[in-house]
Amino acid sequence: MSQAPINLRELLARRKKGYSLEAPFYNSQEVFETDMEQIFGKHWIYVGVEPDVPEAGDYMTIQIGKQPILIIRDDDNQIRAFHNVCRHRGSRVCTHDKGSTGNLVCPYHQWTYNLEGKLLFAEHMGDDFDPSKHRLAPVHLKNVAGLLFICLAENPPEDFQHLVDTMTPYIAPHNIANTKIATQIDIIEEGNWKLTMENNRECYHCTGNHPELTISLYAYSYGFAPSEDTDEGVRQYEEMVKERHAKWESCGLPSAEVDCLDSTISGFRTMRMPLDKEGQSQTMNTQVACKKLLADFADPAIGGLSFWTQPNSWHHFMADHIVTFSVIPLGPDKTLVRTKWLVNKDAVEGVDYDIENLTAVWNATNSQDRFLVEESQKGSMSPEYLPGPYSPYTETLVEKFSNWYVNRLTELLGD
């Protein structure tokens, strides 16, 4: 793509708060490369779940920009991450998306590493060769109650510990370690990753676009802030939330809102929200989609715990299943959205759950969201595109995403 050079610092400095970003943030190759280096290269990135690597020797690979990464469970059951780059002449060591192995054997010349990344074997290297100088390079990994985050920076943001400490009690009751991935669906959106994230951070578009998702959602949840003519509806909703939170918290389910989306480097938000009608799950009939629950919940109507992170994930935890999303940029106008549905690992497909029923709401919603993101991308290419104002009632969390992004880039790029 040939484009005139842009002055990114100037674009950041003149950014108008409360407005969407200028076009180059969505379609320039240069901004994309900066995003990969500064945002995806220096923050904690959500990449998968413990059940991606359920047994010792199980691995998964993922590509973050130019960097191939390997995630593996070692013989002591510790999950580790490495650069998937052989210390001989740089081949990728694991070439499949997923697999299981006793040792890591490079396909090129069979250098062989153990699951802790130590080089065990390298033929024809001579007497002076010291294998201990050629370990696989480690990548920082944190397991947050079963959600796996990696950080490619040498010194990852330390405030991630606040996220870990806050979120562990919220997520732990949903028992991720005791789940399996019922299914994973990858979609590629022809749009910039920030449009995907911004779209995720508001439900202004839900009524007009998501007939399946809105069956279980209350209109006043998901980022809705009171305006004068809706005060009564909001008041009633807030009353109900207060009541439900008291009930759920008395059963050991933390529920209160925590929001540091744009106030910390490792920004996040969480809240357990009531679901409408039966109140059990984000399904077409709002009842559980899996008969075997994730834990011994006395009543499956525990709504949905939502968890959003900067820069690339969101998650919904219910009594019967978990839906988890990671966003990986592939190019200025190409983004991978990876969705996993987790159920109790003892649940039997066709007996306890049906994949179509389990995935119906979010499959439909993802495809509607893809359309919205792709249309925004097309519009942002026009010379007539101008940053437009966010709704102060329904797009406050979008604004927090773009605040976070602009602040992080401004700070990291310096003067």
Residues that bind Fe ion (CB under 5 A): 369
> Would you say 92 or 162 has its CB closer to ligand FES?
92
Q: Structure tokens of 12?
A: 């950041």
Q: Which of 67, 91, 143, 230 binds ligand FES (CB under 6 A)?
A: 91
- 322-361 mask for ligand FES (x: CB under 6 A)? ----------------------------------------
Q: Structure tokens of 54?
A: 């359920």
> Would you say 352 or 369 has its CB closer to Fe ion?
369
Answer for the pair 327, 359: CB distance below 8 angstroms, yes or no: no
The three-class DSSP label of residue 155 is: coil
Smallest separation (angstroms) from ligand FES to the CB of 150: 22
10 vs 1, 4, 24, CA distance in Å?
22, 15, 12
DSSP-assigned letters across all residues of 320-363: S-EEEEEEEEEETTEEEEEEEEEEETT--BTTTB-HHHHHHHHH
Contact status: 111 vs ligand FES (CB under 6 A): yes
> Would you say 138 or 392 has its CB closer to ligand FES?
138
CA 97 centroid distance within chain: 18
Stretch touching ligand FES by CB under 6 A, among 82-90, 161-169, 296-304, 318-326: 82-90
User: Half-sphere exposure of 402 toward its Cβ, with a 13 Å CA cutoff?
Assistant: 24
> Would you say 94 or 147 has its CB closer to ligand FES?
94
Give residues with Cβ within 8 angstroms of 235, minimum separation 6.
none
Compute how many residues bind ligand FES; rule: CB under 6 A: 9
Smallest separation (angstroms) from ligand FES to the CB of 109: 3
Stretch touching ligand FES by CB under 6 A, among 107-115, 311-319, 323-331, 388-396: 107-115
Q: Which does 129 bind (CB under 5 to 8 A by kind): Fe ion, ligand FES, none?
A: none
In whole angstroms, give the CA distance from residue 175 to residue 210.
Answer: 29
Q: Which of 70, 79, 81, 86 binds ligand FES (CB under 6 A)?
A: 86
Smallest separation (angstroms) from ligand FES to the CB of 131: 12
With the CA atoms of 395, 400, 406 and 407 taken in that order, what torsion angle do they form, in degrees rounded to the nearest 10?
160
Contact status: 85 vs ligand FES (CB under 6 A): no
Stretch touching ligand FES by CB under 6 A, among 104-112, 184-192, 262-270, 300-308: 104-112
Smallest separation (angstroms) from Fe ion to the CB of 338: 16
In whole angstroms, give the CA distance from residue 273 to residue 133.
Answer: 51
Backbone angles phi, psi at 367, to 5 degrees: -70, -35
Backbone angles phi, psi at 399, to 5 degrees: -60, -40
> Would you say 89 or 235 has its CB closer to ligand FES?
89
In our burial notation (b when 16+ CB lie closer than 10 A, e otherwise), range 45-59 reads bbbbbbbbbeeebbb
Q: Which does 111 bind (CB under 5 to 8 A by kind): ligand FES, Fe ion, none?
A: ligand FES
Q: Which of 6, 67, 109, 349 binds ligand FES (CB under 6 A)?
A: 109
Smallest separation (angstroms) from ligand FES to the CB of 138: 17
Using CB under 6 A, list all residues that contact ligand FES: 86, 88-91, 106, 108-109, 111
